[in-house]
Structure 1
Amino acid sequence: MRTHFCGLIDEALIGQTVTLCGWADVARDLGGLCFIDLRDHEGIVQVVAEPEPGVEGNAEVIAAAARVGYEDCLRVTGEVRRRESPNAKIPTGQVEVVARRIEVLNKAEPLPFHAHENPGEDIRLQYRYLDLRTPEMQRRMRTRTKLVQALRRWLDARGFQDIETPILTKATPEGARDFLVPARMHPGEFYALPQSPQLFKQILMVAGFDRYYQIARCFRDEALRADRQLEFTQLDMEFAWVSERDVQDATEAMIREVFKEVIDVDLGDFPRMTYAEAMRRYGSDKPDLRIALELVDVDAQVKDSEFKVFTDWAGVDGGRVCALRIPGGATLSRKQIDEYAAHAAKYGARGLAYIKLSESGEVSSPIAKFFSEEQFAALVAHVGAGNGDIVFFGAGAYATVSDFMGALRLKAGRDFGLVEAGWKPLWVTDFPMFEWDAEEGRYVALHHPFTAPAVDSIDDLRANAKTAVSRGYDMVLNGNEIGGGSIRIHRTAMQSAVFELLGIGAEEAQAKFGFLLDALKYGAPPHGGIAFGVDRIAALMAGTESIRDVIAFPKTTTAQCPMTGAPSPIADAQLAEVHVAVRPKS
């Protein structure tokens, strides 16, 4: 139907006849002279219908152009010529197409929104086919395509095997909730959609495939936000006979090359930082290094004060008192300080103490009265505060304080324009093996139950479970975890010991993970791997904060699809076929 794409018409085609297909992005009738901006997935070119004496059918062409409406689906045949008034804003701006024939292939009804508008997300997702048609969404989705192509090229060139793993698998609920699928041929039994190919890729290492990858669809029934979806895509990789550094060096090289190829960005060096250091300095295990602000521990400076909120936690095992200095923050009003306190409260803060130093050196602080002059001066000096600054303080349980002070750091960085331009990658390593779940009264795995501990001795692991360090690692970019992995447990005895520490007894472990425990008995090699969030990486490359902008048909934050109406009720007859009964809503 066409000879060329709209966005690829250039000066080399001047004088040639072309046939184009696309949508009318703009149509202007100037009274016998008509202009149409014709758009396809490659871009826009200007089409002109003008009086041409002696040219057969010219009047019909002008009449057809005058009838063209917004987003009409067209086919245009015409001659390429140089524009008298070039448009430097578009790649085709040096040329235009003089129409000899205009066909309306499908007339568009009035649209619910204009392609150049910014309607609410619900409307965009309800009419996703129109939203995806916009140039910006076309650009974002093409960026995603280029990313996946680049990843495959890199992996294929290095001997990785692309192996598909099952979508219908066994329910092994650890972490997020599984999506369950009733098994029609096995009444009362269910498959689960995979949260990741984790166990299968480990078994592939036992099977001797050495280097595996898969662009895998994964499913987790969890609350949604800007960087989470019920169904998502990850690049899953696994290596046999490797240490942590082997995996990190290989995948760092891959990500660096892919960013250069897809968006021409040099990521530079990837520094390494332990989990403990990241939490201490930034209050996050995925710190955004573009923000130079850091947390400063002040336990020693406040332990002898009369401020009970500080003294109750200073120097206490599992406690923390720390400060965040914001240069120029003395401009904050009391109302704005209250807004910062409210923001911290979302992350667990019960209050937010502060010291504000005006440009003239005047002190405004609700806690200054609890310090002697010497103590107060030492505290201000320790955090490096000067005239014009504000210092926020957090006190409480270490993890809670780190969370809300880390959140304040990010907010302050954005509010005060302290986010550097560019890209800041890093590796975060040496994660805790476990964290204590007070509600369930047991340890839970910080990464997942198959991550190897840093110690080889089961006795050492049992004796020091609270402080045990894993062989896990995350790749972080601009405050986003884009990849996470670990060296895996490759011995049955160690895997059973970890299950035991997680409160999974021998019988339960055999029922849920028996196939893995059996596989590890038969000469399983040391192995490790990593999974990268394709959606997150694509969003970063495309310059958008939400992964929904790089997924063709995402769900809303309420886990619905406005376009199709999913999820929806199922007829009783269909439920009966799969032996399922639905309880009434309580």
Structure 2
Amino acid sequence: MLRTHTCGELRMEHTGTEVTLCGWVQRIRDKGGMIWIDLRDRYGLTQLILDESKTAPELLQTARTLGREFVVKATGEVIERVAKNPNLPTGDIEIRLTGLEVLNPAKLPPFLIEDETDGGDDLRMKYRYLDLRRGSVRRNLELRHRMAQQTRIYMDGQDFIEVETPVLIKSTPEGARDFVVPSRMNPGEFYALPQSPQTFKQLLMVSGFDRYYQIVKCFRDEDLRADRQPEFTQIDCEMSFIEQEDILQMFEGLIRHLFKNVKGIDLPEVPRMTYADAMQFYGSDKPDTRFGMPFVELKGAFDTVDLTSGKAFPVFDAAELVVGINAKGCAGYTRKQLDELTEWVKRPQIGAKGLVYVRYNPDGTLKSSVDKFYSEEDLKGWVAQFNTSGEPCEPGDLLLIMAGETAKARKQLNELRLEMGTRLGLRDPNKFSALWVLDFPLLEWGEEDGKPETGRWFAMHHPFTSPKPEDIPLLETDPGSVRANAYDMVINGTEVGGGSIRIFQKELQSMMFGKLGFTPEEAKAQFGFLLDAFEFGAPPHGGIAFGFDRLCSIFGGADSIRDFIAFPKNNSGRDVMIDSPSTIAQAQLDELKIAVK
């Protein structure tokens, strides 16, 4: 080894020891008579010191040729530091140099290699190998490593076996778009990269491997955002001879194990909420439960009372749903603040036509933006509804109300609720609230390419999800009312995992394919191998997959998954560092029998 120690391990007990360190020059401070060099490696930072009166001239000359990010080998004695740095683990000591060797000089980096860098996203992605030297990014990848390590410890302790499944598979029409790979040996035919190992893990259950997991790379050719990448990682799991409750208990155990052993947090028992309740009270199937602010309906499907009728207010009269939230302690918002909030919900991203507010003043009076139409007695009725259906409404609170078509109004109010949670400091990234969401619809009606004539049922999760046993008869009479035997885990308003109990009988799976618009011939062509396997004794089984990158970002208190992936793509799906995707040579295209227009 070129070094005896790392730059993060030396302490006071090492004083008097001769050591050799290797690393990158973080910064140099030359004060004439004294030179200080901060040396950095993956493990930390150590200060080196040269005293002009006690140091050989050639050593001083070498030190003065150094620049940022030079790779050096430094030898010297560990001594007690005069001006200690309590913010640095090695801040009590420094190295009095007796030897210094430049292993490799370096160009001046295009941005500062520090936690608070001056490099923008594009520049840092282009030079990702430099960005990875920054302590903040390194700590993110160390967190990811611990998450993977603790996942394997937990799963091994529960008798799961890690099995690798194929990366070159068959393209299927359901779900997101596939990445496809041409086959040179089979011209005109293509592999697909897996969106998940779904069918393979079900086949492993048929094979008798009753507890499987894999930390696996998956691929989806879809539009990107902060929490999406074209290639991502899942903790993929499947179990046999179980019911939904077994899955919930097992994988709630995994999440609590990760919080305990990675974050040192004892996560309480995870509460459960039905999809219907999530939509009614939060307008989202992944509600952020770090704070309250549940929806209260003044007119809608869930409450028989209509507290808005007979007042000739056209916005409410024409609406399917009138629904609001209680922003605690916000009655003091100025007219300017309320106008700004109204403009915020009118943005194209939200799409609301307006916002109604009711101030519950500290003196107990009520003042609203619709006083022209509603008396104070009417407003007291609204307050009473909030007291009955939501959080207690008290003097000093502000009611924010939206109206419109049910699905749109809920979606818009969900966005407003999250925004108010952010403005009021209720979405602390260091606070964690987990939730199981259950009983999703099995099917949803949609159109191919937005054409009404192509309307058909689509699987809410995927075509292998089992319906609730008691709802199976509704598949023929009322498919939209069938509930899935499915579940999602949500943490801080982000879906981090989802799964279901699977169909394991050929007849029911064939019926499901029929509901999804597959002809028997199409179903056999696409999934005949699975239907055939079900005839050889498939056990009852189910599973779940967690988005590993998302879990890491939540544990790290970040919104984006990018900094928890060593070499991520940008929002256009490009790796700007290696310039990928790129064109390939005509000879390669000819060999693959691919014509490019």
Q: Same fold (TM over 0.5)?
A: yes
User: Match for residue 111 of structure 2?
Assistant: 113
1:509 pairs with 2:509: no
Q: Distance in 2 between matches of 1:310 and 1:84?
A: 72
The DSSP-based 3-state class of the residue aligned with 1:278 is helix
User: Match for residue 316 of structure 1?
Assistant: none
Q: Distance in 2 between matches of 1:504 and 1:372?
A: 57
The amino acid of 2:543's aligned partner reads G
User: Match for residue 303 of structure 2?
Assistant: none
Closer/same/farther in 2, CA of residues 522 and 312 from structure 1, 3 Å limit: farther
Q: Distance in 2 between matches of 1:104 and 1:61?
A: 11
Contact 2:506-2:534 within 8 A present in 1 as well: yes
CA displacement at 1:293 relative to structure 2:
1.2
Deviation digits for residues 454-513 of structure 1 (CA, Å, limit 9, x no counterpart):
025643322231111111111111111111111111111111111222222222211111
User: Match for residue 128 of structure 1?
Assistant: 128
CA displacement at 1:310 relative to structure 2:
2.4
User: Match for residue 147 of structure 1?
Assistant: 147
Contact 2:49-2:95 within 8 A present in 1 as well: yes
User: Match for residue 228 of structure 2?
Assistant: 228
What's the TM-score, normalizing by structure 1?
0.94
Alignment of 1:70-469 (within 5 A): 70-116=68-114, 117-299=117-299, 300-313=306-319, 319-330=320-331, 331-332=333-334, 333=336, 334-343=338-347, 345-357=348-360, 365-384=368-387, 385-419=393-427, 422-438=431-447, 439=450, 440-455=454-469, 458-469=472-483
CA displacement at 1:388 relative to structure 2:
4.1
CA displacement at 1:193 relative to structure 2:
0.4
Q: Distance in 2 between matches of 1:458 and 1:275?
A: 18
CA displacement at 1:397 relative to structure 2:
3.3
CA displacement at 1:264 relative to structure 2:
1.3
CA displacement at 1:390 relative to structure 2:
3.1
The amino acid of 1:210's aligned partner reads D
Name whichever of 227-236 and 361-370 sits farther off: 361-370
User: Match for residue 557 of structure 2?
Assistant: 543
Q: Distance in 2 between matches of 1:154 and 1:377?
A: 53
Closer/same/farther in 2, CA of residues 202 and 359 from structure 1, 3 Å limit: same
Contact 1:288-1:477 within 8 A present in 2 as well: yes
Q: Distance in 2 between matches of 1:92 and 1:386?
A: 53
Q: Distance in 2 between matches of 1:115 and 1:362?
A: 57
Q: Distance in 2 between matches of 1:157 and 1:372?
A: 64
Q: Distance in 2 between matches of 1:405 and 1:496?
A: 40
Deviation digits for residues 287-338 of structure 1 (CA, Å, limit 9, x no counterpart):
111122111111121244422332334xxxxx43211121233415244123
Q: Distance in 1 between matches of 2:472 and 2:266?
A: 43
The amino acid of 1:488's aligned partner reads R
Closer/same/farther in 2, CA of residues 417 and 457 from structure 1, 3 Å limit: closer
CA displacement at 1:395 relative to structure 2:
2.6
CA displacement at 1:418 relative to structure 2:
2.7
User: Match for residue 59 of structure 2?
Assistant: 61
Closer/same/farther in 2, CA of residues 563 and 427 from structure 1, 3 Å limit: same
Name whichever of 108-117 and 297-306 sits farther off: 297-306
Aligned residues: 574
The DSSP-based 3-state class of the residue aligned with 2:324 is strand
Contact 1:291-1:410 within 8 A present in 2 as well: no
Deviation digits for residues 376-398 of structure 1 (CA, Å, limit 9, x no counterpart):
33123323555544322233333
User: Match for residue 560 of structure 1?
Assistant: 574
Q: Distance in 2 between matches of 1:459 and 1:274?
A: 21
Q: Distance in 2 between matches of 1:186 and 1:277?
A: 51
CA displacement at 1:365 relative to structure 2:
4.1
CA displacement at 1:226 relative to structure 2:
0.9
Contact 1:305-1:375 within 8 A present in 2 as well: no
Contact 2:270-2:436 within 8 A present in 1 as well: yes
Deviation digits for residues 344-365 of structure 1 (CA, Å, limit 9, x no counterpart):
x524534433334555667664
Q: Distance in 1 between matches of 2:376 and 2:398?
A: 18
CA displacement at 1:187 relative to structure 2:
1.3
Name whichever of 259-268 and 74-83 sits farther off: 259-268
CA displacement at 1:80 relative to structure 2:
0.9
Structure 2 unmatched runs, 5+: 300-305, 388-392
Q: Distance in 2 between matches of 1:448 and 1:118?
A: 44
The amino acid of 2:372's aligned partner reads K
Contact 2:475-2:482 within 8 A present in 1 as well: yes
The DSSP-based 3-state class of the residue aligned with 1:329 is coil
Deviation digits for residues 175-207 of structure 1 (CA, Å, limit 9, x no counterpart):
210001111111111110000001100010011
Closer/same/farther in 2, CA of residues 129 and 511 from structure 1, 3 Å limit: same
Name whichever of 405-414 and 58-67 sits farther off: 58-67
The DSSP-based 3-state class of the residue aligned with 1:378 is helix
Alignment of 1:22-41 (within 5 A): 22-41=23-42
Q: Distance in 2 between matches of 1:347 and 1:517?
A: 44
Deviation digits for residues 134-182 of structure 1 (CA, Å, limit 9, x no counterpart):
0111111111011111111221232211111111100012121000111
Q: Distance in 2 between matches of 1:179 and 1:504?
A: 22
Identity %: 45
Closer/same/farther in 2, CA of residues 35 and 106 from structure 1, 3 Å limit: same
Q: Distance in 2 between matches of 1:575 and 1:328?
A: 65
Contact 1:86-1:95 within 8 A present in 2 as well: yes
Q: Distance in 2 between matches of 1:310 and 1:335?
A: 20
Name whichever of 221-230 and 9-18 sits farther off: 9-18
Contact 2:167-2:194 within 8 A present in 1 as well: yes
The DSSP-based 3-state class of the residue aligned with 2:372 is helix
RMSD: 1.9
Q: Distance in 1 between matches of 2:309 and 2:466?
A: 38
The amino acid of 2:93's aligned partner reads V
Name whichever of 69-78 and 349-358 sits farther off: 349-358
Q: Distance in 2 between matches of 1:274 and 1:137?
A: 37
Name whichever of 351-360 and 218-227 sits farther off: 351-360
Closer/same/farther in 2, CA of residues 195 and 544 from structure 1, 3 Å limit: same
Q: Distance in 1 between matches of 2:469 and 2:476?
A: 10
The DSSP-based 3-state class of the residue aligned with 1:518 is helix
Name whichever of 225-234 and 319-328 sits farther off: 319-328
Structure 1 unmatched runs, 5+: 314-318
CA displacement at 1:233 relative to structure 2:
0.4
